[in-house]
Structure 1
Amino acid sequence: MMETNKALNIIVGLDLSEMDHYLIQYAKILDHILNVAQITFIHNLKLGELPKELIEEEQIKLIQQRIHKRIEEQISATEITYPYDIVVTMENYSEIAFSTLTKQKNYDLLLLGNKQQLTGNGALANKLIRLLPSATLLVPETFHVPIETVIDAIDFSRYTNSIMLWADRFKNNSKGQRIKHSAVHISKSYWSYLPMMTERELDKISLEDIREKEEKWNQAYAQYTDIDIVPAKNQNVAAALIQYAKTKKADLMILGVKGSAGIKDIILGSVANHVLHRPTDTCLLFVKPLIGKK
């Protein structure tokens, strides 16, 4: 089980684009809130994308050195205080580079860009969120500073314990930063029967669902915060969550996501997948279930 104030090992994925500047800045922001043991900055050099004349060993080493130097200069410019290292890998597929790194050392958090106006399709993030055992934090270049409001997206599943532990890391952080958090549950199930039900029947079911979820929450997590039960109505759950985060001006939203080592599960739809493909200025923290929790 994770400890609330555990010293965290963090990976930051860089792609040598303008996004790197924002991720390096955000790493510094996290260090001012969380207990950071070390941050590893990684860039994967895809050999398949290099011209043939640059694939010679000496040329590759020179390219790696230049990439390392560029990243070093960017990090140093932020006046960081945490220990860090820089890894420049060479794999045809970046997910292999990240997977190999996480097998060598246990990492608690992966930091990636969630480009809004910048060029990028988020394909690598979509894969890594599911493949790697760590939690994954997606940061848009439009992120808010400072981090003041955190939202916990609750679906009353096996993810809840992990979501609340991560929420506690921010709320009761060791650095004394003032951060508030609140929980939300998007109620969707009964709206699928809308065409066949009267308004009175819908109101009754809605109230029963809210009471049931509130009671369940109060039995386990009332000491953390209250919970908003929000009907999705004609929206899907992902759209309702993004809209809720925008309304609350949330700096960070924590969600559960299924982990998988199989390619089949990577492309399956889910709330997490739908959230990933919606524009948002809110940082998204995707967490895995705690080991032993069902």
Structure 2
Amino acid sequence: MITIDALMVCLDLSDIDEKLVAFTRSICERLDVRKVYFVHNIKLYELGDDFRELIGEVDLAKEVEDNITDIVAEQFGNTTAYEILVSEEPNTEVLLADLVKRYKIKLTLLGKKMSDKSTGAQGTKLLRILPCSVLVFPETASFNIKKVLVPIDFSAASVHALQLSQNLSGQLGLQLEIMHVYRIPSQFFPLISEEKAVRKAEELVKGKFAELQKRHQEIAHVPYTLVRAANKSIAERIVLHLKKGHQDLLVLGLKGNNPLPSLSLGSVPTEMYNTDINVPLWMVYSETVIKR
């Protein structure tokens, strides 16, 4: 059973906040979440002198907290124990990383606007610095999750993501599909037959799947799909498969090869985050990686 002792929800006082809080309620209603922290950091240095003069003696932190309280009361209610944290720190990324360690946050929920509304730079920074798993909720995503896709490359990180996805699917009665995107070095064509190369590559990957299923009996009957990258990136193939399969959640394992706080996202998760997709993206670090 998946238990989340502490969940952090990052709010930015934009239109996506209501959706994010409502999605948080959906998570808490379906999973065992012990406590939720709704967090916002006021960047005072971004406020111009004219605005500072305008607000005068107004307690801005109190006003922001009241605003978040109203949203939480309307969209979240008393679903789970929660706390609202409003800060005024110069560096949001460092603040949030500190909160993760202080409150032993296991999962952070981030909202994501489409690329025509935001560069996503803040989110990318957070993904690289937060020492916990991250669930990204695009503004166009749905709360109704029935099908889960987990791409794997047979690394320990992707196997961990697969195990979490299997537990999640079993707990909530979801459909789970595994996919693997493979490449064939094109520089050897036409020296060797492309057809034979594809056949050989798929035989090798199927062998890896067979070995994986022997080691992890719980995923033995989960359907998997092999996809050749061909002239596209792995992330592009994942996006195309999402559209074809109509999955509602994407789960990716993060390797974390570098020491904290600069965890390594990897090229595929980074590209997936920077792509406009309509499903939540759960990027998972294993406990082993987090404790390094």
TM-score range, shorter chain: 0.7 to 0.9
Q: What displacement does 1:69 show? A: 0.5
How many residues in Structure 1 have an aligned counterpart in Structure 2?
286
| Identity of matched residues, % | 24
Residue in 1 that maps onto 2:98: 100
* Alignment partner of 1:114 out of 106, 112, 121: 112
SS of equivalent to 1:285: strand
Q: Distance in 1 between matches of 2:6 and 2:58?
A: 27
Q: Which runs of 5+ in 2 are unaligned?
A: none
Aligned to 2:147: 149
Match of 1:182, SS state, is strand
- For the residues of structure 2 that align with 1:276 and 1:250, how far apart are their CA atoms? 16
Structure-2 residue corresponding to 1:250: 247
Of 18, 21, 26, the residue aligned with 1:24 is 21
Q: Give the structure-1-normalised TM-score.
A: 0.87
Tell me the distance in 2 between the aligned counterparts of 1:29 and 1:105: 22
Cα distance change on mapping 1:51 and 1:29 into 2, 3 Å: same
Assess if the C-alpha contact under 8 Å between 1:23 and 1:113 holds in 2: yes
Instruction: Give the CA deviation at 1:227.
Output: 2.1
Match among 3, 6, 12 for residue 3 of structure 2:
6
TM-score by length of structure 2 reads 0.87
Equivalence map 1:102-181=2 (5 Å): 102-116=100-114, 119-173=117-171, 177-181=172-176
**Residue 84 (structure 1) shift:** 0.8
> How far off its partner does 1:244 sit?
1.1
- What is the match of residue 212 of structure 2? 217
Match of 1:289 in 2: 286
Cα shift readout 1:158-214 (whole Å, capped 9, x = no counterpart):
2034213421342132xxx43221211111254564565322332332332332222
State whether residues 159 and 290 of structure 1, in contact with CA within 8 Å, keep that contact through their aligned partners in structure 2: no
Separation in 2, partners of 1:230, 1:24? 36
Secondary structure at 1:159 match in 2: helix
Find the partner of 2:276 among 276, 279, 291.
279
Distance 1:123 1:86 in 2: 25
Q: CA deviation at 1:45?
A: 0.6
Structure 1's unaligned 5+ residue stretches are: none
Q: Hey, what's the Cα distance between the residues in 2 that align with 1:263 and 1:90?
A: 22
Q: Is the 8 A contact 1:33 1:170 kept in 2?
A: no
The 10-residue stretch of structure 1 (163-172 or 65-74) with the greater mean CA deviation from structure 2: 163-172
Give the Cα–Cα distance (whole angstroms) in 2 for the partners of residues 263 and 182 of structure 1. 32
Please list, as runs of the form range in 1=range in 2, the aligned pairs for 1:19-58 lying within 5 A after superposition: 19-52=16-49
| Structure 2 Cα separation of the partners of residues 55 and 245 of structure 1 | 46
Q: Which amino acid aligns with 1:252?
A: L
Per-residue deviation, 1:47: 1.9
Deviating runs (4+, > 6 A) in structure 1?
A: 53-56, 262-266
1:86 aligns with 2:84: yes
